Amino acid sequence: MGTSPLPTMTTASFDALCAAAEAGASIPAWGAPLRAFVEAHDVQPPVRLDREHGGERVASLASSLIAIAMADAEACGPEVPADAAYALRLVTRGGGREADALLGDHEPLLLHAARAAGLSAEGLPRGWDCLAAESALLLNNLLVLRGRLDAALPLRTALDSEAPLAAALSAPADAPLAQLVIYSNLAFRLSLLPPPAPSSGAVELEVLENPSRPKQHTSVSDSTAI
């Protein structure tokens, strides 16, 4: 009986991504290793990278992925930052305190993801593209991993995110279904903040997938974050 190729694929793609980080690769040079990484790791059962490769290497990679996910999409294009956001979801998919610790200070990443997802006064200048979708999914996971009801407070105080959420959800015919699903979940989380926000009619979904992604890249996890 042959050995499954999965461990080799995941290890090779993880090593390639770490090599890009260690080499200080330019943002375009991250494209191929990021795509290989998400294709290899978006599998069931999910791969716990900290157990496979050690917490120190995973923490270092997460730091680099945060920087790429927060890159200026107007300068480098949306695809690589979107894949970096996707990779961050995979890196932290195991959930728990270890995953939360990988992301360090959440607030800068939280606010950046919210802006990229259209939850600020700037809206979505490029429309609901791959970066907006992946940023919204990452934002949901950041709120889940934080594990506190007030984790979404910066979205209200810094960005007034409830306004674009309400605008999109009040005109569902004008938005893609994938956007409405994740916006409903985020609206639910904001509605938990005091004072109570108007009901968005949202249903809490701890685990979310991006329907705009190719089918082979989707996954379903029974953990609280993808």
Locus of tokens 């991504």: 17
Q: Backbone phi, then psi, for 163, in 5-degree steps?
A: -65, -50
Q: Which amino acid, 23?
A: A
Q: Which two tokens stand for residue 49?
A: 């990278």
The answer to whether the beta carbons of residues 128 and 176 sit under 8 Å apart is yes
Q: Cα–Cα distance between 8 and 129 in angstroms, integer?
A: 32
Mean local confidence (pLDDT), 16-37: 94
pLDDT in tens, 103-135: 777 799 999 999 999 999 999 989 999 999 999
Q: Which amino acid, 17?
A: L
pLDDT in tens, 180-219: 999 999 999 999 898 744 554 444 434 445 555 544 433 3
Residue 147 scores a pLDDT above 50 = yes
pLDDT band at residue 71 using 50, 70 and 90 as cut-offs: very high
Q: Backbone phi, then psi, for 94, in 5-degree steps?
A: -65, -20
Helix axes 79-91, 55-69, angle to 10 degrees: 150
Return the pLDDT at 54. Answer: 83
Return the pLDDT at 94. Answer: 65
Q: Cα–Cα distance between 12 and 33 in angstroms, integer?
A: 10
Domain ranges of the chain: 6-217
Q: Cα–Cα distance between 91 and 132 in angstroms, integer?
A: 19
Q: Which two tokens stand for residue 30?
A: 């991250």
pLDDT band at residue 220 using 50, 70 and 90 as cut-offs: very low
Give me the sign of the Cα torsion angle 29, 30, 35, 36: positive
Q: Cα–Cα distance between 182 and 185 in angstroms, integer?
A: 5
Q: Cα–Cα distance between 103 and 89 in angstroms, integer?
A: 11
pLDDT in tens, 31-63: 999 999 999 888 877 777 878 888 888 889 999
In our burial notation (b when 16+ CB lie closer than 10 A, e otherwise), range 136-148 reads: bbbbbbbbbbbee
Return the pLDDT at 92. Answer: 84
Residue 1 scores a pLDDT above 50 = no
Q: What does pLDDT average to over the chain?
A: 83
Return the pLDDT at 51. Answer: 80
Q: Is the pTM of this model over 0.85?
A: no
DSSP state at residue 217: G
Return the pLDDT at 43. Answer: 80
pLDDT in tens, 130-139: 999 999 999 9
Q: Cα–Cα distance between 191 and 200 in angstroms, integer?
A: 8
Please report the beta strands in 22-162, taking only residues with DSSP state E, as ranges in sequence order.
none
Return the pLDDT at 210. Answer: 56
Q: Cα–Cα distance between 146 and 154 in angstroms, integer?
A: 13
Return the pLDDT at 205. Answer: 39
Q: Which of 21-25, 146-150, 159-163, 170-174 has the lowest mean pLDDT?
A: 146-150
Return the pLDDT at 139. Answer: 95
